[in-house]
Structure formats: structure tokens, C-alpha cells
Amino acid sequence: MAEEKKERYYPREIEPKWIEKWREASTYKASDFDKRQKKYVLVEFPYPSGFGLHVGHAFAFTGGDVLARFFRMKGYNVLFPMGWDAFGLPTENYAIKEKRRPQEITRENTTRFKEQMQRMGLSFDWEREINTTDPDYYKWTQWIFIELFKKGLAYKAQMPINWCPSCKIGLANEEVINGKCERCGAEVTKKNLEQWIVKITDYADRLINGLEKTNFVEKVKAAQINWIGKKEGAHINFPVKGKDLKIRVFTTRPDTLYGATFMVLAPELSSLSELTLPGQKRAVEEYIDQAQKKTELERTELTKKKTGCFTGSFAINPINGKEIPIWVGDFVLSSYGTGAIMGVPAHDERDFDFAQKYGLPVIPVIEPPENDWDFSKSAYTETDRGTTVNSELWNGVTPTEAIKLAIKYLEEKSIGKKATTYHLRDWIFSRQHYWGEPIPMVFCEKCGWQPVEEKDLPVRLPPVEEYEPTKTGESPLASIKDWTMTKCPSCRGKARRETDTMPNWAGSDWYFLRYIDPKNNQSLADQKKLKYWLPVDIYIGGDEHNTLHLLYSRFIYQFLWDIGVVPKEEPEPYYKRVSHGVILGLDGQRMSKSRGNVVNPDEIWEAFGADALRVYLMFIGPFDATMVWSQESLEGVYRFLKKVWNLFLNQVSEKETEAKLKRKLHQTIKKVGEDIGNFKYNTAVAAMMEFANSWQASGNLSRSDSLLFLKTMAPFAPFLAEELWSRLGEAFSIHATSWPEHDPKLIEEERVVIAVQINGKLRETLEIDFSLAKNKNEVEERAKKSEKVEKYLKDKELKKTIFVPGKLINFVVS
RNA sequence: GCCGUGGUGGCGGAAUGGUAGACGCGCAGGACUUAAAAUCCUGUGCCCUUUAAAGGCGUGAGGGUUCGAGUCCCUCCCUCGGCACCA
């Protein structure tokens, strides 16, 4: 760009100058086994898209950077690494469109991202850079998969994918828009493929219990627990009338068994064909056909519009021999429970809606406490109040007690038993795409599925002519015959390679371990180094990753713990998880190319410099909030930095600082330090602004005090801080100095303002010496002398006086 | 639908149950200037009032607890995020 560059308050050369100095001096290097205490600050690594760094990235990374810099100044040995989660669809699609190699595109994108990050002054330790698409990295991703397989945690099963019959390719959920193919608009159907599945459900309880050892924010814990969705209840077997067949249902409410008036099966259930009577065959098949086109979300939403179809068969309620009709309904999911439910419309809202729609009977078996419930209007679902009725074997108790009695009875009679189900499902691990880690498995007619031998890892992605998925639904790798043909690792006979690749999550599950030992070619990371650095002290990431990524990652870690790859002392990988917020475009919408509301950090950097961009991002709002970009506020921050710059150049001298300003300085040091530790960056910046205003008004700051203030600025504005530090004649680098300590004696105010309230309403304020403000009698006496207060106390009875030392006095009168 | 988040001036936001609106933006007035930009100073929740004093109202809506509620409890409304093949 030959355009003339806008003036800044500081010479432009200082940014590249300090970037180079920091690199040369390895200012941000994390040293293994250092004697100092360690801190591992992790920010989710980005997918290096072709659009370059996004302000959302800039925001999250700066948040981590401020913390990392603060911890370094606090004397910690800080690991603050960065890398690339570079496998994925966008690159693959771009490669298809441009007919270029994804490897090349990825290299370009990561180069650009890195440059942008460095320009922003982010203090990553670049010696530990990793890339999930690097064969030396994905060798270990593949190794983990083989270990999972060896422990029986990876298996093959038929699973449906989204299939576009017109393009003849599999589609990601994202590429299905309202049930139609994003590319051609054709109706998307399902196609069953043999896929690798990873048994994360084996770890369900551990993934819940392990949270106790962490310090995640509550909403993240809740997200994980809800996602796993552990529910206790019972399996109950219902015989089918006239058939030698039993249907097993799962219910959390076995106490309502007497109230079951129908049964609903998921459309995918294979036993359906056997159950459907000839007269109903057509209707049921049609219904199943329709249901398959819907997504799970569509099936479970819109409560009022539940649909179903009668199969013609009846089940027999094992508790009382009653016949109940068997329906098929798509609000029942095959992936949850047993794929079959007993319908108890009196005590379940979904069952109630279904019964209403199809005129099925409602039999109450729990009497609500007030006994005024209208069972024709809604279901009664409480379990802690109410009494069981119409339930021969367990009448007259609360539902909670009845659940226990019911399970006991069911188990005694072998018609059912206690059971737990989870919302969490096993993890579909296969993708029919090119740009992912090849799944390192080989199929032999004689020996079945065999893992590739460790010495042959990594299984590298071979060059391929076409990156398009094949018309059969297989990945493009399937078309490379001499690659797929191989030898069986077991019998050395002819065998065929797996051609599916791994999901994006595979590489990001364990990346934080690789930063600890990025170049190790003996193992994924050295035990001693892991022991030194783990756990991750703070993991900063987006809410959108609080379930999938975080859960998968914890699962893989727990698995690695089981097989002894990670230290026994650390059963959980992340000590603390913090969510960062989202920055919306000027229109209040999420930034996206198509909306045209994307703010490009490069332009901001160009116009205002790295420090202004950083400080603005930290000032815009609370770190975990949703915020709207504002150019005007950015300019305000730029003015603040300019003001600070000029104050340092013009208002620093050897003269001692005025007492009042000195007090403000120490208050600011205290507040900024506390706020950084609590991720309250916005108020930390506000405090520094307040100090700059006071400094400006007061005139002079002593040289030594100015250095203290500069240190508080350093984590936020590293360039400005380093440059002024050097201009004040201090030795390189401010970022290697220690955080200033505030003097507690200096921060106390001499005079304070006491609020005087009458019946809780503010009526007067008193300015009073700090030493007297804690004395109740003194304050009360002075308050009563005030005319304003007197007015309110006159002719009233003083009932009570509430005194908060140093803050407030409240007279309660009547 | 389920789960989660949030709702405070013209705007972004601040406030251990204790003076609501810090800080920033914007706006208004002033200083400097031939003028502008930049910078500095002053003011700025709303209503009544010429102004001021004094007062009243005010944190999505409605109730409650409390000497005192933006903050705690209950009911409701709305916003935003996630929902398993986007990462």
C-alpha cells in the first residue's frame, strides 16, 4: 500500500523495533523445570482461515496476553503458547475451488496469522508453535486413536450421514440448510455408512465427577453436566400381545407405571417392521420416511405439534396386564434411552401433548397435594409432593418413595431393573473428507481391522488429484488405489487402508500437552515436563466450546491418564476454565462476511497502533460479555494513550509527587492488579484513565513514581511501556521487571464522605476525617446537626439508627 | 423444545445488600486560534422550575424479604448463545 500513513502520537518504528528486541532476547520464553513457580495460560488456538485474524481472536488473545504478562511480572515462569488447529472444511473447500493443495493454503494462512499476532504484541513463546496438520504432530493424534482401539474404545458401526442424492456427496450439518443441500438445493437424505465410533460414554461418570477437581466457572460446569445428562430410572420390559417379543423402555418415573396408556417407539427402531400390522404398514412406512428427513432439533422442538402413527399392535403393561397401543413417533429418539417410551400422559408433558392430539386416555396415578389439578389441561410432573393413587402395589406414598418401591418390585419379578441413561452419545469419529488425519487402521479379510504399527506412523496424507468427496460417499483417499492397497500388519497378507479421516476435534483434544514438549519424537510429551507444567492453570475459550471440545479433550486426557501417558498426580487437564465474550459488528449482529459487518484488526492496527487496539479491546466491556464494536470508543482509548505518552514526556521530574496524587497512584496499582487477576480488564483500564486524569490535573509526577505507573500499563500497552521505559533511561526490558507493590499506608483517604439516610433515603452527605468516620457517636452527632437532617427528624420518633463505619448512617423514624 | 447468558442514561458500561450511573463515547458551553484541527476547562439520568434551592421519579414488568434491593427470593416478558459433521 503506497497510501500515506496517518500520523500517530509515537514514531511508527518503535513497534517493529521492540518486536525484534523481544524475539532476540527471548523475553517471553517459558523455561522447563525453572525454579520459579509455573503458570500455564492457555488460549484456544485458532483455525487459520483465509480471512486472517478476526477481532474476536484479537480480543481473546489479548485477554490471555495481559494475564500472561501480569503473571511474568508477578514472578512466575509462564507458559503462554500458540499454534494452529488447521485441519478442516473451509480449507478443503477452498482447495477444491482454487485447485490448490490444502497444505500450501494452510502455510499461507498460518504465516499471515502469526505475523498479525506478533504485530499485536502478543507474548507467545513461538519456540513452542504447533500445527495439527504437521505429520510430526498428527503422528501422535493417530497414536492416541490406536491406543483407544487397543483398549476397545473405538469400534465400527453403521451410522447415518447427511447425503445429497443430487451432488452424491456427504454433507456436514453446517452444509444442510433447512433440510436442503447448501450447494444445489436438493432435499438432503440420510445414508448409512460404516463409521468409527469412540466410546466416550464409558467415561460419562468420570467426566461428571472430575469436575469437582476443577475450578471452572459454574456455567461451564453446568454445560458439561447437562450435556452428559445423567438420568436415573428403570428399564421395563413390555411383552407385545400375540408376539414372542418384548419391548424395553427407559423411564425416570417407574412410579407412574400404572398410568401408562400407550407406548411410542422411535422411527429408527428395527423391531417396528415386525410390530406393524398389515393394515397399518403403508401409513407407518410413510411416517418413517417423513421423520428421516427431519433433523433431531426439528423432531424435538415444537411441543404442540408432536406427530405419530399407530402400528396396530398392542403391548401388555407388565404390572397390571392392561393392553396399550403401540405408536411410532419422531419425538422419541433412537439415540437416547432405549428408543422406546411408555406414555404416561397424566404425569409427563410430552406424553400429555401426544395423548391430546390422538385422543389417548389420561389416567392419573399421583394425586397432587391440593387435589384441584385439572388433568384435562396439563400433566402433573412434580416428584417431591403428591400421593400415589390407583397404583395397587405402591399407593399412598410420595412419588419419590414410589420410584424406589417400583424398582424393587420390578427387579424382584424380573420385569425390569434399575438403570441409568445418559444424554451423552458415543462419538462418531469418521469423516469422509481429505483434509484431516488419516485414521491409521487397515482392514484384512483374514484378521479384520488392525491398527497400523507404531513404527509406520504417521500415516501421511497422500497427494491426491481431486479433493472432492467421491460419489460413493467415501473420502477422496478411497480413489488412490496404490495408497489404499497395503499389507496386513498382522498376517502380512493383502489388506486395505481405512480411507476416512478424523474429525477436527481429534487434533485439538490434546494440543495443550504438545506445547509442553513440542519436538519430542519418542512420545507425545515427556513425563517429567508434563509433571512440571500440568495442569493448565487457566484455559480461556469461547462458550461454543464448553461442551464438545472441552468434554472431548477432558475425555482424551482421562484416557491418557488411564494408560499412564500423563502424570498420575493430575487427573484433570484444566484447573480453571474462563469464557471470553463475543464482539458483535456495528449493527449488533455477529460479524460475518455475508453481513459485511466484519471489523478487520489490520485496519485498526494501521490507523491507531497495536497498543490502542489492545487497550480498546480490554476496555470495551467485561471479558465474558457480548459487546458491540464502537469506533468512537476506540478513538477515546487512543486519546488516553496519547495523553499518557505526553504526560511521560512533559510531566515527569525529580520533584517529589504531591501526597494526593501519590495516594491515587497506590490506589491504582492495587486496583489494576486485583482487576487483572479477576479478569476485570475494563475497570483496570478505567482506573488507569482516572490516574492519568489526576496526573494531568496535578502537574508533576516523580520519576520513580512514573516508573511504577508505567509498569501497571505494561501488560496492556507493551509497546508504549517498553519505549517510555527506555526513554526514561531504564534497562531493557520493562516486561522482565516485577509488578509494583502498593503501599497500604498510602492508600487510605484522609477525608471520607458519609451518606446520611432517613428511612433508607439519601438526604445528606457529610465530609469527615477518616479517623472519625468509624466512630458511631461522632457521626451521629454531626449528622443530627445538619439542617436537612433535622427537618426530617423533627416531630418524629427515632426508632433505630443503623451505622456502617466509614460509609453510612441511616435514621429509621416513624 | 432443552440447557445456558443477559436486560442499568442518547450509547459502551461501573457499582463486597449501603450515596445508582465510575471510566469512556456523544452532546452543550467556554479557552486557545485569523480560522480549523488538536488540546484544555466546565456541564450533562429524567420530571417540575426562568434559574437556583428544594423536591419527585428512576436499573425489563409485577410481587416479596430488609432499616436499606440494580444486587437476595417468587412469577412473568424479552434478548443473545449452544444443541453433537462449522471450528
Q: What is the pLDDT of residues A184-203, one digit of tens each?
A: 777 888 888 889 999 999 99
- In this complex, the nucleotide whose C1' atom is nearest to the CA atom of residue A503 is B85
Residue whose CA is minimally distant from B84 C1': A548
DSSP letter string, A126-181? GGG-EETTSHHHHHHHHHHHHHHHHTT-EEEEEEEEEEETTTTEEE-GGGEETTEE
Rounded Cα–Cα distance for residues A814 and A802 (Å): 15
Confidence at residue A298, expressed as pLDDT on a 0 to 100 scale: 62
Q: Which residues 430-489 on A are within 7 A of strand B at the CB atom?
A: 430-432
Closest CA to A758 of A733, A727, A731, A793: A793
Model confidence at A592, pLDDT cuts 50, 70, 90, reads confident
- Chain centre distance of CA A695: 41
The arithmetic mean of pLDDT across residues A393-400, rounded, is: 89
Rounded Cα–Cα distance for residues A344 and A329 (Å): 15
Confidence at residue A295, expressed as pLDDT on a 0 to 100 scale: 64
Closest CA to A119 of A2, A18, A28, A46: A18
- Chain centre distance of CA A135: 27
User: Before A49, cis peptide (omega within 30)?
Assistant: no
The arithmetic mean of pLDDT across residues A407-418, rounded, is: 92
Indicate the SS3 state at residue A653.
Answer: strand
Confidence at residue A299, expressed as pLDDT on a 0 to 100 scale: 64
Any strand B atom closer than 7 Å to A6 CB: no
Collect all residues with Cβ–Cβ distance below 8 Å to A373 and sequence separation of at least 6: A364, A380
Grid coordinates representing A452 are 497400523
DSSP letter string, A471-498? TTS--GGGG-HHHHEEE-TTT-SEEEE-
Q: Which residues 388-427 on A are within 7 A of strand B at the CB atom?
A: 423-425, 427
- In this complex, the nucleotide whose C1' atom is nearest to the CA atom of residue A620 is B12
More confident residue, A720 or A788: A720
Does residue A124 register a pLDDT over 90?
yes
CA A684 / C1′ B30 distance in Å: 32
Residue whose CA is minimally distant from B85 C1': A172
Indicate the SS3 state at residue A312.
Answer: strand
Does residue A587 register a pLDDT over 90?
no
CA A758 / C1′ B62 distance in Å: 27
CA A728 / C1′ B14 distance in Å: 34
Sheet with A416-422, strands from edge to edge, namely A246-251, A230-239, A416-422
Strands (E), A683-804: 701-702, 751-758, 761-769, 798-804
Rounded Cα–Cα distance for residues A19 and A676 (Å): 24
Does residue A297 register a pLDDT over 70?
no
Helix A703-713 vs helix A631-650: crossing angle, to nearest 10:
160
CA A4 / C1′ B38 distance in Å: 20
Does residue A341 register a pLDDT over 50?
yes
Q: Which residues 624-653 on A are within 7 A of strand B at the CB atom?
A: 625-628, 630, 632-633, 635-637, 639-640, 642-643
Q: Which residues 527-586 on A are within 7 A of strand B at the CB atom?
A: 543-545, 547-549, 582
CA A638 / C1′ B39 distance in Å: 14
Does residue A743 register a pLDDT over 90?
yes
- In this complex, the nucleotide whose C1' atom is nearest to the CA atom of residue A335 is B84
Any strand B atom closer than 7 Å to A678 CB: no
CA A245 / C1′ B87 distance in Å: 45
CA A684 / C1′ B24 distance in Å: 13
Cell numbers 490516574 correspond to A691
Any strand B atom closer than 7 Å to A224 CB: no
Residue whose CA is minimally distant from B69 C1': A760
Q: What is the pLDDT of residues A314-340, one digit of tens each?
A: 999 999 999 999 999 888 888 788 889
CB A755 within 8 A of CB A809: yes
Any strand B atom closer than 7 Å to A697 CB: yes
CA A735 / C1′ B10 distance in Å: 41
Model confidence at A1, pLDDT cuts 50, 70, 90, reads very low
Model confidence at A177, pLDDT cuts 50, 70, 90, reads confident
Confidence at residue A3, expressed as pLDDT on a 0 to 100 scale: 37
Any strand B atom closer than 7 Å to A686 CB: yes
Which residues does residue A262 pair with via DSSP β-bridges, in sequence order?
A343
Grid coordinates representing A283 are 401409513
Confidence at residue A567, expressed as pLDDT on a 0 to 100 scale: 97
Any strand B atom closer than 7 Å to A590 CB: yes
Closest CA to A328 of A361, A363, A281: A281
Grid coordinates representing A426 are 458415543
CA A547 / C1′ B84 distance in Å: 9
- In this complex, the nucleotide whose C1' atom is nearest to the CA atom of residue A799 is B67
Model confidence at A6, pLDDT cuts 50, 70, 90, reads low
The arithmetic mean of pLDDT across residues A67-95, rounded, is: 94
CA A286 / C1′ B21 distance in Å: 62
Q: What is the pLDDT of residues A763-790, one digit of tens each?
A: 888 888 888 888 888 888 888 888 888 8
Rounded Cα–Cα distance for residues A780 and A802 (Å): 10
Cell numbers 497502533 correspond to A609
Any strand B atom closer than 7 Å to A290 CB: no
Does residue A170 register a pLDDT over 90?
no
Confidence at residue A590, expressed as pLDDT on a 0 to 100 scale: 77
Query: The complex's ipTM?
Result: 0.92
Does residue A36 register a pLDDT over 70?
yes
Any strand B atom closer than 7 Å to A208 CB: no
Mean pLDDT highest for which of A208-222, A470-484, A567-581, A713-727?
A713-727
Confidence at residue A296, expressed as pLDDT on a 0 to 100 scale: 61
Cell numbers 491409521 correspond to A440
CB A419 within 8 A of CB A237: no
Rounded Cα–Cα distance for residues A399 and A254 (Å): 9
Confidence at residue A301, expressed as pLDDT on a 0 to 100 scale: 54
CA A644 / C1′ B29 distance in Å: 27
Any strand B atom closer than 7 Å to A804 CB: yes
Rounded Cα–Cα distance for residues A271 and A280 (Å): 15
Q: Which residues 168-187 on A are within 7 A of strand B at the CB atom?
A: 170-175
Q: What percent of chain A has pLDDT over 90?
A: 56
Any strand B atom closer than 7 Å to A217 CB: no
Helix (H) or strand (E) holding A626: strand A626-628
Closest CA to A397 of A259, A256, A252, A236: A256
Average pLDDT value over all residues in chain A: 89
Q: Which residues 30-49 on A are within 7 A of strand B at the CB atom?
A: 46-47
Collect all residues with Cβ–Cβ distance below 8 Å to A415 and sequence separation of at least 6: A236, A237, A318, A319
The arithmetic mean of pLDDT across residues A628-651, rounded, is: 91
> HSE (CB half, 13 Å, CA atoms) of A310?
13
Any strand B atom closer than 7 Å to A353 CB: no
Does residue A80 register a pLDDT over 90?
yes
CA A540 / C1′ B58 distance in Å: 38
Rg (CA), chain A: 33
Rounded Cα–Cα distance for residues A604 and A620 (Å): 15
Grid coordinates representing A704 are 520513580
The greatest distance separating any two alpha carbons of chain A, rounded to the nearest whole angstrom, comes to 106
Does residue A611 register a pLDDT over 50?
yes
Rounded Cα–Cα distance for residues A63 and A43 (Å): 9
- In this complex, the nucleotide whose C1' atom is nearest to the CA atom of residue A546 is B82
Chain B bases under 7 Å from protein CB? 1-5, 11-16, 18-20, 22-26, 38-41, 54-56, 67-69, 80-87
The arithmetic mean of pLDDT across residues A347-365, rounded, is: 88
